[in-house]
Amino acid sequence: MNIFAQKNDAIDANGNCYIKGGMIYAIGANGAEVAIDANSENQKKLYVTGGTLVAIGGLESGASLTQACYASSSWRENTWYAMTYGNEVFAFKTPSSGGTTLVVSAASTPTLMSNVTITGGTEYFGGVGIIGGTVSGGDNISLSSYTGNNNNGPGGGGGPNGGGGPNGGGDPERR
């Protein structure tokens, strides 16, 4: 599932939300919006127990994370990233805008690289996601444990440019 929200939460359950499996690439808007929202203000909760997840904009404040989630406080727009977990690779291209915190989660502890080139694999989500394939080049991204707090609002983590200017180091070719 790939969802991109320009002015709102990417996924807004308006009730308890359970992520138990599958592949989700969700991009929430800047500001108070998040990538995945369950409306904790109404005593609802987001539960992440499985699956592969990339969430630009963070997760609902107070989410229950049985499966470990990791965050990078900044990301670069229009850039190819590769998340490797176990023997699997999910590559994704970031949008030109979106929330600040980049959250990833998978069945095993992922590694994340930016500015990668991907060859082969199977395209998903209109070409902005690739499963499998071979990753070359790139820069290691430091990930920290993510607790489910919404760090997307004012005073949150870094911005979508990662401090590197409007294009964040360019858009590597994808062959």
Question: Which tens digit of pLDDT belongs to each residue from 14-60?
Answer: 889 999 999 999 988 877 788 888 887 778 899 999 999 999 989 98
75 found inside a domain: yes
Residue 175 has pLDDT above 70, yes or no: no
Residue 169 has pLDDT above 50, yes or no: no
154 found inside a domain: no
* Range(s) of the domain holding residue 138: 2-144
Q: What does the pLDDT read at residue 62?
A: 84
Residue 164 has pLDDT above 70, yes or no: no
pLDDT higher for 91 or 6? 91
50 found inside a domain: yes
62 found inside a domain: yes
- Select from 65, 69, 33 the least CA-distant residue to 150: 33
175 found inside a domain: no
157 found inside a domain: no
Residue 167 has pLDDT above 50, yes or no: no
Report pLDDT digits (tens) over 136-154.
999 999 999 998 665 443 2
Residue 134 has pLDDT above 80, yes or no: yes
Report pLDDT digits (tens) over 84-131.
999 999 999 999 988 888 999 999 999 999 999 999 999 998 899 999
172 found inside a domain: no
7 found inside a domain: yes
Q: What does the pLDDT read at residue 110?
A: 97
Number of domains in the chain: 1
| 3-state SS assignment for residue 56 | strand
**DSSP string for residues in 86-145:** TTEEEEEE--SS--S-EEEE-SS--EEEES-EEESSEEEGGGTEEES-EEES-EEE--EE
